[in-house]
A and B are shown apart, each in its own frame.
Chain A
Amino acid sequence: MGGPEQAIQVTDLHKRFGSLEVLKGISLTARQGDVIAIIGGSGSGKSTFLRCINLLELPTAGTVSVHGETIEMKSDGHGGLIPANRRQVQRIRSRLAMVFQSFNLWQHMTVLQNVIEAPVHVLGVPKDQAIATAEALLKRVGLFEKRDVYPAFLSGGQQQRAAIARALAVQPLAMLFDEPTSALDPELVGEVLSVIGDLAREKRTMLLVTHEMKFAREVSNHVVFLHNGLIEEQGPPDEIFGAPKSERLKKFISSIH
């Protein structure tokens, strides 16, 4: 059990898909206010790792704690784990906001309805209060005028900014960004990164899986380089990008510049 300053603690996380072991034992601690960038090539397991934290993927072994509370798991009888207490998982998920690569806004709801959905129907916030909060958040991400529009009528960048507003609306303990700009056209990447950058400067706790190396270097205070399901190297961004130690990291960084 970590102290209160520990936002997320992952210990020895393993994930296996059939015979393929995607995560081979990853431990990571995020303190409150940490902005941790998770980088690595495709197939390195970085997205799977992020998705194991809120149990969208069930880890095969290992533990996840959020604010000192360990998510209780039990054996599924086939060598894997399942949540021992589904309500606990739902409660923890409701405060770990995730931003997806493909936005995943609910298509049958307007932007505003998307933003108030979890506060009203999961957290039980009164609707008028949720709307007031949501409108302030939408102003902040520059989408107030689009609040009554359905997501399908927005650009990718606008949809992702709406998704970020939806994430902020639950007053998350930590935010999980799963390649938030990878599905965007190049000219739309900037508007989304600028919103995420603002959040990082506010010292919001976040884990950010990304391919945007320049951005990761700017906003993060810690960088984790995953390779083949293991942490190959980690450290402050200037060290990771300025003076990489391992051969693989050197190669990875030179390959993307």
Chain B
Amino acid sequence: MLVGFIQSLKLAFGGYGLGLLIGIGGACGKLYGGPILRDLMEIYTTLIRAIPELVLMLLLYYAGTDALSQLLALAGYGSVDINALTAGIFVIGVVQGAYATEVFRGAIKAVPAGQIEAGRAYGMSPMKVLTRVTLPAMLPYALPGLANLWMVATKDTALLAVIGFSELTLVTRQAAGSTKAYMLFFLAAGAIYLAWTLVSSLVIRFIEKRATRGLVRTA
């Protein structure tokens, strides 16, 4: 079970990390991109957020990996076996990315325009403004949404059981099935998810405290 849990964590961290990267890129594309890029991003976030995650998992996992290996074969790399973990991270990342795009977009819009203007006025390049001002300044606005997404990401890893990836839920089901001790194993799995969520909450609270140091608390 521990191995399954570690696999779940790998999925969650990898998928979430990828989701954050896609989210930042997606939000910048939506806010600063040209009309074509903006439309593409709109299609991406609309589609991904409209389709049930389970369907997306199945679709991206089977169709996606198939398309990718065909593409690689075309490019002359021969047939490549895509590692199940990589595929799982990709699937979770793409799903998380769509939600993260919206979280970041809202947060970036919440940054007072004067902060960005000051960056420009002091000679920062657009990239510098983004990395030195916009992204750190939007963090306090993005964190509640991002914390939510992290919780969702850890739970989404369980969906990968349906494609046969040996993460916590699948391992638990197998163990429970072979020993018939359903109650014991599923309660244990539940406890592991709960413990992980509690640890996450503590870390998130700490990060949030740090990120909002510069804001006057109105509570």
B76 interface residue per 8 A CB criterion: no
Q: Which B residue's beta carbon lies closest to that of A121?
A: B132
CB of A104 within 8 A of CB of B118, answer yes
11 contacts between A and B (CB under 8 A): A90-B125, A91-B123, A93-B123, A102-B114, A104-B114, A106-B118, A108-B213, A118-B124, A122-B122, A152-B215, A153-B216
Main secondary structure of the interface of A (DSSP, over half): loop
B120 interface residue per 8 A CB criterion: yes
B117 interface residue per 8 A CB criterion: yes
Chain B residues with Cβ below 8 Å from A94 are 122-123
Kindly provide the distance from the CB of B119 to the nearest chain A CB, expressed in whole angstroms: 8
Across the interface, B136 reaches (CB within 8 A) one of A98, A108, A166, namely A108
- Given contacts A93-B121, A118-B123, A109 and B128 within 8 Å (CB-CB): no
Interface residues on B, range: 20 to 34
Kindly provide the distance from the CB of B24 to the nearest chain A CB, expressed in whole angstroms: 16
Instruction: Determine the distance from Cα of A145 to Cα of B79 in the docked complex, in whole angstroms.
Output: 65
| Interface contact tally, CB-CB below 8 A | 77
Chain B residues with Cβ below 8 Å from A56 are 117, 120-121
CB of B120 within 8 A of CB of A108, answer no
CB of A105 within 8 A of CB of B216, answer no
CB of A122 within 8 A of CB of B213, answer no
CB of B115 within 8 A of CB of A104, answer yes
Instruction: Determine the distance from Cα of A98 to Cα of B139 in the docked complex, in whole angstroms.
Output: 26
Instruction: Determine the distance from Cα of A190 to Cα of B121 in the docked complex, in whole angstroms.
Output: 26
A54 interface residue per 8 A CB criterion: yes
Q: Which B residue's beta carbon lies closest to that of A95?
A: B123
Across the interface, A106 reaches (CB within 8 A) one of B137, B139, B213, B216, namely B137
CB of A93 within 8 A of CB of B120, answer yes
Interface flags for A44-76 (1: CB within 8 Å of B; 0: not) read 000000000010100000000000000000000
Q: Which B residue's beta carbon lies closest to that of A102?
A: B114
Kindly provide the distance from the CB of A84 to the nearest chain B CB, expressed in whole angstroms: 16
CB of B214 within 8 A of CB of A122, answer no
Kindly provide the distance from the CB of B65 to the nearest chain A CB, expressed in whole angstroms: 41
CB of B215 within 8 A of CB of A107, answer yes
Q: Which A residue's beta carbon lies closest to that of B123?
A: A94
Instruction: Determine the distance from Cα of A97 to Cα of B119 in the docked complex, in whole angstroms.
Output: 11
Kindly provide the distance from the CB of A106 to the nearest chain B CB, expressed in whole angstroms: 6
Kindly provide the distance from the CB of B124 to the nearest chain A CB, expressed in whole angstroms: 6
Kindly provide the distance from the CB of B52 to the nearest chain A CB, expressed in whole angstroms: 37
Interface flags for A137-163 (1: CB within 8 Å of B; 0: not) read 000000000000011110000000000
Residue among A94, A108, A121, A166 with max Cβ neighbours from chain B (10 Å): A108
Q: Which B residue's beta carbon lies closest to that of A93?
A: B123
CB of B215 within 8 A of CB of A105, answer no
CB under 8 Å from chain A, chain B span 30-80: none
Q: Which 10 A-B pairs have the closest CB atoms?
A: A94-B123, A104-B114, A150-B214, A104-B118, A118-B122, A93-B123, A98-B121, A90-B123, A152-B216, A107-B214
Chain B residues with Cβ below 8 Å from A34 are none
Instruction: Determine the distance from Cα of A196 to Cα of B28 in the docked complex, in whole angstroms.
Output: 38
Instruction: Determine the distance from Cα of A98 to Cα of B123 in the docked complex, in whole angstroms.
Output: 11
Chain B residues with Cβ below 8 Å from A91 are 123
